[in-house]
Amino acid sequence: MVVMTATVAGQVIVVVVLVVLVLVVVVELILMVTVVDGREFGCGNDRGRMMVVVVMTEIVVIV
């Protein structure tokens, strides 16, 4: 029973991580499309980098 629950929990964690990574890629693509030139919006690229860093830290915390 313990082994079964462990494998199921591991599969769930893997699925969650994959979904989060896909969402991160989608968000990055949206940022790239909407903020074509970061200089127009003033430090738009920095904001995007901060978002990526926050998402990555969230992934690490979840894992």
Residue 55, pLDDT score: 73
Residue 21, pLDDT score: 83
Residue 37, pLDDT score: 52
Length of the chain counted residue by residue = 63
Residue 58, pLDDT score: 75
Cβ atoms within 10 Å, residue 26: 10
Tokens of 44: 């738009």
Residue partners of 46: CB distance under 8 A and separation at least 6: 38
Tokens of 48: 């995007």
pLDDT averages per 10-residue partition of the chain, 63 residues: 74 85 79 58 57 73 64
Q: Among 47, 10, 8, 15, which residue's Cα sits nearest to residue 31?
A: 47
